[in-house]
Amino acid sequence: MELAIISGKGGTGKSSIAAAFATMGSNVILADCDVDAANLYLLFNPPHDEEEVFTGSYKAVVDQENCTLCRQCIDYCRFDAIAMVNNQINISEASCDGCFLCSRICPEQAIEMIQHDKSRMYTGSFRDGRMVYGWLAPGEENSGKLVNLIREKVKKLAQQNGLSHIIIDGPPGTGCPVISTITGTDKVLIVTEPGISGLSDLKRTVELVQGFKYPAMVLINKYDLNPEMTSRIEVFCDTVWIPVVGKLAFDPQMTEAMLNCKSIVEWKPKSETSKALNRIWKTILNF
């Protein structure tokens, strides 16, 4: 089974929940696809068995010696990335989308495309198994390509090591990286929190998931912080035919576990939260 854990909004507890599922001794391999803010490795601190360079987008660079200031590149660029600054053609790295058009149309061939190679994909082992995670260099476009690579790698490792369950810790939002995370998975778990923001993000996430017709489930984290909003979320889930597979109470031991680089199941195996997570995992497996 391949399970993707997502949430419209960050900070709902996706990573802590993924970590709990991964440490129940249940034949699991982990993938951290929140490449923009990978966190799971902090709990598991896996030595890097493998480090692979991820080459991301290209950026245009001007050779000022050959540039004749004809300005054609400025006219053609649709990303407002090129401008004349101090009588020189200046290309903003942040705005450049790497489309190659300026380098193709430049009559002097004074523009070169340079590929970024600072992003990485790591594979490592931790106490209960193996994990793969990505590290996207700041400012890189999070297009979902690195997410796809991580998922391919995890599938290969799962096959090689005979691991039957893949758990994916997903990125926030409703854009490309999330779509890459859920495409082709068996099950999607949406983690939400009771609140006006949580509900609005949940609605967007449900719209995304149902657009792709994935079997989705909802887990309400910290449900006791606002019981009325929890009921509103439950009613919403009912009306869109998405089952709520469980609720977790606010538990400071979740943070304590994180501070000690452990999952809640490792830190306090007998706690109510751990018991609930065990039940939820079984429900997910049978879903």
Among 5, 6, 15, 220, binds other proteins (CB under 8 A): 15
The piece of 21-29, 121-129, 138-146, 156-164 that touches other proteins (CB under 8 A) is: 138-146
Which residue, among 258, 274, 202, 220, has the nearest Cα to 25 in the 3D structure? 274
Which residue, among 204, 213, 169, 175, has the nearest Cα to 189 in the 3D structure? 169
Q: Does 184 bind other proteins (CB under 8 A)?
A: no
**Is the CB of 11 or the CB of 27 nearer to other proteins?**
11
**Is the CB of 39 or the CB of 283 nearer to other proteins?**
39
Which residue, among 198, 195, 197, 250, has the nearest Cα to 228 in the 3D structure? 195
Among 2, 3, 5, 8, binds other proteins (CB under 8 A): 8
Q: Does 176 bind other proteins (CB under 8 A)?
A: yes
Q: How far is the CB of 31 from other proteins (least distance, A)?
A: 17
Rounded CA-CA distance 95/266 in Å is 45
Which residue, among 135, 146, 156, 183, has the nearest Cα to 29 in the 3D structure? 156
**How many other CB atoms are found less than 10 A from the CB of residue 12?**
26
Site for other proteins in 255-274 (CB under 8 A): 255, 258-259, 261
Q: Does 240 bind other proteins (CB under 8 A)?
A: no
Q: What is the largest CA-CA distance in the chain?
A: 72
Q: Does 234 bind other proteins (CB under 8 A)?
A: no
Q: Does 107 bind other proteins (CB under 8 A)?
A: no
**Is the CB of 27 or the CB of 211 nearer to other proteins?**
211
Using CA atoms, how far residue 76 sits from 136, 239, 245, in Å, is 29, 49, 52
Among 67, 70, 118, 143, binds other proteins (CB under 8 A): 143
Rounded CA-CA distance 55/47 in Å is 22
Rounded CA-CA distance 20/40 in Å is 11
**Is the CB of 78 or the CB of 270 nearer to other proteins?**
78
Quick one: 118 exposed, middle or buried, by C-beta within 10 A (0-12, 13-18, 19+)? Answer: middle
* Contacts with other proteins, residue ranges (CB under 8 A): 8-12, 15, 36-37, 39, 42-43, 58, 76, 78-79, 94-95, 97-101, 104-105, 136, 138-143, 171-176, 179, 193-198, 200-201, 204, 207-208, 211, 225-226, 228-229, 250, 252, 255, 258-259, 261
